[in-house]
Amino acid sequence: MANERDKSQRPATQQLKLEIDAETAKGRFANAAVVTHTDDAFILDFAFAYPRQPVRVLSRVITSPQHAKALLRTLADNVSRYETRHGTIPERPLPVVSDPDTSN
């Protein structure tokens, strides 16, 4: 009984059916990301960095603070599950990248 009561008090999770066109489904490889924020949005720039070439932003995602926090939680959960299955992901030092909106 307590289990049923607990379930009824939790907010229902909504399942989304995603649609994706063939070109978007191919994806783009990014090996760099820059995350910045304003008072009401998080900006995620995904880029490809190659030696002796300018780092080009491939995609920019702008989202609310609530969605950014949910993304952080979901990404952490997926990394944890990946590492459980495949072992610890080695980390490298992050390079300092200038924000394209603030540099001249």
44 lies in some domain: yes
What pLDDT is attached to residue 7? 54
Distance CA 68, CA 63 (A): 6
103 lies in some domain: no
53 lies in some domain: yes
What pLDDT is attached to residue 25? 95
17 lies in some domain: no
43 lies in some domain: yes
What pLDDT is attached to residue 16? 87
* Domain region containing 70: 30-87
Tokens describing residue 55: 């780092």
58 lies in some domain: yes
Q: Which residues contact 29 (CB under 8 A, 6 or more apart)?
A: 48
Q: What is the pLDDT along the chain (104 residues), one digit of tens a residue?
A: 555 555 556 566 788 899 999 999 999 999 999 999 999 999 999 999 999 999 999 999 999 999 999 999 999 999 999 999 999 999 988 767 666 665 55
Q: Are 55 and 49 in contact (CB under 8 A)?
A: yes
47 lies in some domain: yes
* Count of domains observed in the chain: 1
20 lies in some domain: no
